[in-house]
Amino acid sequence: MTASMPARLALCLAMTLCVQSAWSADDRPMELKMIAHEALDGDAGAQLLYGLAYLDGRDGLKPNAEKAVYWLRRSARIGNAYAQLTLGNCYAEGKGVEKNPEQAVKWWRKAAGKENAKAQYLLGKAYLEGIGATKDPKQALHWTTLAAEQGNKDAQYLLGKMYYEGQDVPYQKEAAKSWLSRAAEQAHSEAINLLAIIDGMLEGSTKTYQQSAEVLIDKAKKGDPQAEYELGLRYESGAWDVNKDNKKALRWITKAANAGNRLAMKTLANIYQHGDLGLHADPEQAAQWEKRASGNPSDK
């Protein structure tokens, strides 16, 4: 141990000097020195902080994905769930390491086992899509449900979508609506749109949602507000035989709203409120469409 102490002290001093230079304009040098010491001493929380700082270029550090992965891995190996989640993300994106879906799943699984909701969602999605893991509908449903029950809106949307589409699970309309509603309450735009389809179209006499893209486009061009709205939603998500196109989505949803479709009005209000479809958030526009949606369909 005595032989290693000088080397460790030298490394600690070098790190402290690096930290001081990186934060030369900051007024917290003592705090950063403490983090440096604690990270070297094996504190998982301090190692996580270093990793995130390098990953995002926080607090004066220049972004350095490789150094981020170094510290995240140290933290993840001694059990920090958030470090495990983030390290998995790095492997999934090829950020600081070679892209490796299997390694991503490995680290997400560790974090998911510690009840990290985001990791549970990503693990469920991996099992659903068969990316980084063998496709397994039961495991997909298990982990996605756990994440959804913890309030993860992406998991709630995915679970609702699975039940609605009968995607590797039995079709259950009420279960779909229940989970989509929870995600919609957290302003998940895709959940809001899918709920609109279920509530406004599944029960509609024309069954617009079942029609092919060609038929729908023809009806929309002829001025059918329901078809215009559905076509806009399809362009927003890239579903049902059309390519994702934000401009076309906005154009058709707006046409439907101007033609009196209340669901389109509500969707536009949400789009402007949150700045979706590549737009900047516009609370005034959002309020106008919300007001029109709550009034008479003919109000302009």
Residue 235 has pLDDT above 60, yes or no: yes
More confidently predicted of 10 and 211? 211
pLDDT of residue 68: 92
- Determine contact, residues 202/188, Cβ cutoff 8 Å: no
In a domain, 134, yes or no: yes
Going by the DSSP 8-state scheme, the letter that residue 201 receives in this structure is: I
CA distances from 21 to 13, 14, 15, 32, 106 (A): 12, 11, 10, 11, 36
Among 185, 206, 231, the domain-final residue is 185
In a domain, 285, yes or no: yes
110-116, Cβ contacts within 8 angstroms, sequence gap of 24 or more: 110/76, 110/81, 110/84, 111/81, 111/82, 111/84, 111/85, 112/143, 112/146, 114/79, 114/81, 114/84, 115/81, 115/146, 115/150, 116/81, 116/82, 116/84, 116/85
Among 62, 93, 111, the domain-final residue is 111
Whether residues 94 and 165 share a domain: the answer is no
Whether residues 209 and 250 share a domain: the answer is yes
In a domain, 75, yes or no: yes
In a domain, 21, yes or no: no
Whether residues 210 and 136 share a domain: the answer is no
Among 151, 185, 219, the domain-final residue is 185
DSSP string of 240-251? SS----HHHHHH
Whether residues 134 and 80 share a domain: the answer is no
Whether residues 204 and 296 share a domain: the answer is yes
Whether residues 40 and 149 share a domain: the answer is no
What are the pLDDT digits (tens) for 203-225?
A: 443 445 556 778 888 888 999 88
In a domain, 67, yes or no: yes
CATH of residue 48: 1.25.40.10
This prediction's pTM: 0.60
pLDDT of residue 32: 58
Residue 165 has pLDDT above 80, yes or no: no
Mean pLDDT of 22-43: 60
In a domain, 261, yes or no: yes
Going by the DSSP 8-state scheme, the letter that residue 210 receives in this structure is: G
Residue 61 has pLDDT above 90, yes or no: no
Whether residues 136 and 65 share a domain: the answer is no
Whether residues 174 and 279 share a domain: the answer is no
pLDDT of residue 248: 93
Q: Read off φ and ψ for residue 188, nearest 5 degrees.
A: -80, 110
In a domain, 10, yes or no: no
- Tokens for 111, please give them: 């974090």
- Give the separation between CA 224 and CA 114, rounded to whole angstroms: 51
Buried b (16+ CB within 10 A) or exposed e, 128-162: beeebbeebeebbbbbbbbbbeeebbbbbbbbbbb
- Give the separation between CA 281 and CA 70, rounded to whole angstroms: 38
What are the pLDDT digits (tens) for 36-45?
A: 678 787 888 8
Domain range for 155 is 115-185
- Tell me the one-letter amino acid at 117: A
Whether residues 300 and 193 share a domain: the answer is yes
- Total domain count for the chain? 3
Whether residues 161 and 71 share a domain: the answer is no
pLDDT of residue 203: 46
In terms of C-beta density within 10 A (0-12 exposed, 13-18 middle, 19 or more buried), how is residue 290 classed?
Answer: middle
Whether residues 40 and 148 share a domain: the answer is no
Whether residues 300 and 204 share a domain: the answer is yes
- Tokens for 77, please give them: 């190996």
